[in-house]
Amino acid sequence: MARLSVQLGGSALVAVLIGSGLYWFVGDPGVAVVTGIIWGSALALGIHQYSVDPSTPADAAWERGRWIGVGTGLMIFAAVGGVSPTLPISTELRFGLGALIVGVYLVGVMTASLAELERFDR
């Protein structure tokens, strides 16, 4: 139980640090709060995944790695191309939206990995 509280506490700390830092940089509370929660959740899910199956991140075979690569490429395309310099928004907000996209991608990868682990009852 103590281990779980440390994991959740660390994830909450990351959420607060990212959210407050992004609020200071971007100035929009909605983007800052949501991005902080997303990144904190991604960390909590990643820690949980590692505690369930520590070999998962290191044992990325080609069959699994190629799909992670496709997702990463599309996420970079969305963060850089979708939130492009041609949008009529500030550079700070563009950065915040990019951070939000990367965080959502990380949550997606973690939840998909955990779903796959459950599928095989690990």
Residue of 79, 109, 73, 111 lying closest to 97 (CA atoms): 79
2 conformational bin, left if phi > 0, alpha if psi -120 to 50, beta if neither: alpha
Structure tokens, 52: 């369930």
The distance from CA 48 to its chain's CA centroid, rounded to whole angstroms, is 14
Q: What is the pLDDT of residues 9-54, one digit of tens each?
A: 888 999 999 999 999 999 889 999 999 999 999 999 888 888 777 6
> In the prediction, which pLDDT does 64 show?
64
Q: Which residues contact 5 (CB under 8 A, 6 or more apart)?
A: none
3 pLDDT more than 80: no
**Domain boundaries defined on the chain:** 2-119
Q: What is the pLDDT of residues 68-101, one digit of tens each?
A: 788 888 888 888 888 888 889 898 999 999 999 9
